[in-house]
Every structure is written in structure tokens, then in C-alpha cells.
Chain A
């Protein structure tokens, strides 16, 4: 039996499709390709630093990590103790016209996104951003 090159290629292509389709069906919905933070809400460290003193740094990491080290001047605000921490934050820290930049451990961390969303949605604060790369990025640039 002789098969033309085209037929052989077609057979190989179709056979390759079998596991591909199987994988697509098996893993459907298990991979999220979208980010919750809009591009406009992410800010790079260099941009944040160019804003100078017009910035309020918010550390969204757990208390122990904040206590170990944090960006100078940052305040701790996380969802573990949101109800206790939001009051002093809006009472004494936040000021109109200031930009709020939230960060957590690293690029893959979601805590900063959650806190930033809550500051925007629940507290209705304007100019709330998330630091790209988070604390890891800060440390990298500190060295």
C-alpha cells in the first residue's frame, strides 16, 4: 500500500489533533487567561517613584510579613483585619489628591489586587494602583 506524502501528512495532522482535543476538553475552564487588574491600574516601580511624595504605599501582605520588612512609610492594610485597619487609614493616612499604591509579595500574588479593588469599590477612593512585581520588585531595585 502506497500513500502520497499529502495523505501521510494529513493522517499525522489528524492523529496529532486527537490528544490536543482531548487535552482541551479535559482542561477546559482550568486555566484563567485573563487578569483582574486592568492595565490602567498597574503601575511600575519607576513610575511610582517618579510620583515622589504624592504617594501612599499600602502593604497588603499578612501582618508578619509587613512586620518583618516593608517599603518605608507603607501602612499595613489587608483583608485579614480590614475592618480594624480601614478606619485609621481613611481617617489619618489617606488624603485627597494623593495616589495610593498597593503591593503584595510578588507578581503572582493576588492580595494587592483584592485590597485595591476594595479601596476603589467599597471606600470609593480614586487613584488606587497596584505595584507591578510587588515587594519582590522593590527588593530587586533596592539592591
Chain B
């Protein structure tokens, strides 16, 4: 085999690797830090067509219904710039969120690009668990919920209120600063009951957000379904009343 064949084969392998995508993205990952009162986090993914032919967008898809993405144009001419805007609706989400946008073009060198939008939604107070329950007839022992301030959030105190007097609450300081133990205890568990306990931190002073803990005494487990034959043989079957 002559060296020329080796060189030709080598070029066939290497040259495609050096062919760059015509649509060049400024950034494919954006990190946003929306404030506690913001409803949306918006990312602008900027691009430029550095090639010598137009690029057409085939599709722009998001990873979740909570994120919308749109392109300014369907076709990007050589040398043209533009952006894809990704709007993430925060809703009641907390903590770090990662959403992706998949962009498909007719750029043969790089037909699919994944854009990543990272939004770190600041957590003021983490309340866990936010649901406690007792089964009907269970011993009415207190159950503990932990309320913990987010990182670098100066919560000094919390106010806890239960609208249902059937459920008593008691707050204790936790082992770490900004940590609280909320003890919830039903007076009895003989009848189904429910309450939504409000937990209000003292931060931010001007507009503190209220967090909720649901407490419930569940109904007794449903009795197994009685077959018609069994119901006939049992005069006191379900629905027979008093």
C-alpha cells in the first residue's frame, strides 16, 4: 500500500472533524437566578450563521410544558445573527431547575443542538414533610415537621397557625440556625379530620411567603367488596344502614 492511500484515508477521517457547524451559538447553557417574586425566567440563546449558506430551523422543542421556546426567524442567512428565547414558567417550583430546548436545523454538520436553561430558584424555607397523617383509630402521637431556612436566608423565627383546633402545634428551635421543629398533634383520631397549617417565616420582612403543612386523620380503610352471594347471606351488609 502506497503512502498516498494512507494520506487519503487519513484526510477522509480528519476533514469531517474540522468541518464546523454553520450556526454558531454564543452559549448553549445559560444559568439564571430569578428573584423570589419573579414568575418567569427568560434565557436568550444567541447564534450567528458563520457559514456561506442559509440555515433553516426545522423544529424547536422544549423538554417540558413549563418552558416555551421560539426562534425569531425560520431562516438565517450567511452572516446573520439571531436568538432563540426560552421562557421558563416558574410556577410553584423551587430549587435548581434544568430545562432543555432541542433545536433542529438543516445544517448537515450539526443538525441538532441542545440548549440548556438552568434556573436556580431561591428557597426561602423548606418545610418537610408538608403532609402528615394518622389513620383512624391510631394513637394520636405528635408528628414532627422540619422547617429549614434556605442557604444564606436569615430566617430568625416562624409563626405557625392551625385553623382547626383538633390539631395542636408547637414550635421548637432546631439544632442549626434557621431550623425549626413543628410538632403537630391531633386531639383524637376517632373521626376523619383535616387542616392546613400555615407556616410564616419572618423573612423577607415586607412580603413573607406563607408555606403550608397539611395534616389529616384518614377514614378507616374501606371494607372489602362483598360479593352479591355473600351480601344475600349477610343481612347487615354494606349500605344496610341503621
Query: Interface residues, chain A, CB within 8 Å of chain B?
Result: 1, 3, 5, 8, 11-12, 15-16, 18-19, 22-23, 30, 61-62, 65, 78-84, 86-87, 90-91, 95-97, 104-105, 108-111, 114, 121-125
Contacts and interface: CB of A to CB of B under 8 A. Distances in A.
Given A30-B28, A82-B91, A12 B10 contact: yes
Q: Binding site of B, secondary structure by majority: helix, strand, loop or mixed?
A: mixed
B65 A105 contact: yes
A61 B181 CA distance: 34
Interface of B: 1, 3, 6, 9-10, 13-14, 16-17, 28, 63-66, 89, 91-93, 114, 128-133, 135, 194, 196, 212, 214, 216, 218-219, 221-222
B2 to A, nearest CB: 9
B194 A91 contact: yes
Given A19-B17, A62-B65, A95 B28 contact: no
| 4 A-B pairs closest in CB distance | A19-B17, A124-B129, A82-B92, A80-B91
Contacts of B222: 95
A90 B63 contact: no
A84 B6 CA distance: 68
Contacts of B13: 12, 15-16, 18-19
B92 A79 contact: yes
Contact of A111 (B14, B17, B66, B89): B66
Nearest to B132: A124
B91 A11 contact: no
B6 A81 contact: no
With a 10 A CB-CB cut-off, give which of B91, B128, B194 has the most chain A CB atoms: B91
Contacts of A111: 64-66
18 contacts: A5-B1, A15-B14, A16-B13, A18-B17, A30-B28, A78-B91, A80-B91, A83-B212, A87-B196, A87-B212, A90-B131, A90-B133, A91-B194, A96-B135, A96-B218, A111-B65, A122-B130, A124-B131
